[in-house]
Amino acid sequence: MNTFFAGTNIRQSSAEPLKPVSLEWIKKHISGEEGDLAMQTRRLRSVRRIDRQAFDQAKTSLPFFIAARFKDGIRSTANFESICGMTLDFDRCIENAEQAQ
């Protein structure tokens, strides 16, 4: 039974089924070994310094992964089945740290 699932666009996650992925898949995508997530993240960091609204819009089109299971892989409150792990919103952590300075 898979613990992790991935989607390609958070805005479509209530219509597009999530696919099961391994922790190794997540590591490879975050580190840049596979795909271009690392490059997209660097590009978004540059956008964030210039235009926060553009950043907020653009980040929702990034691939994402979650440690939650949904009926038929469709991410919605009604379809929620279980979660394994803790959810961290690093974006807000950065924002809060900047405000504290």
pLDDT in tens, 29-58: 888 777 778 888 888 888 888 998 888 888
What pTM did the predictor assign?
0.72
- The residue ranges of the chain whose pLDDT is under 50 are none
What pLDDT, on a 0 to 100 scale, did the predictor assign at position 101? 61
Cα-flanking dihedrals φ and ψ of residue 81, to 5°? -115, -45
Rounded distance between C-alpha atoms, residue 96 and residue 69, angstroms: 29
Cα-flanking dihedrals φ and ψ of residue 19, to 5°? -110, 140
What pLDDT, on a 0 to 100 scale, did the predictor assign at position 4? 92
What pLDDT, on a 0 to 100 scale, did the predictor assign at position 79? 94
What pLDDT, on a 0 to 100 scale, did the predictor assign at position 97? 57
DSSP 72: G
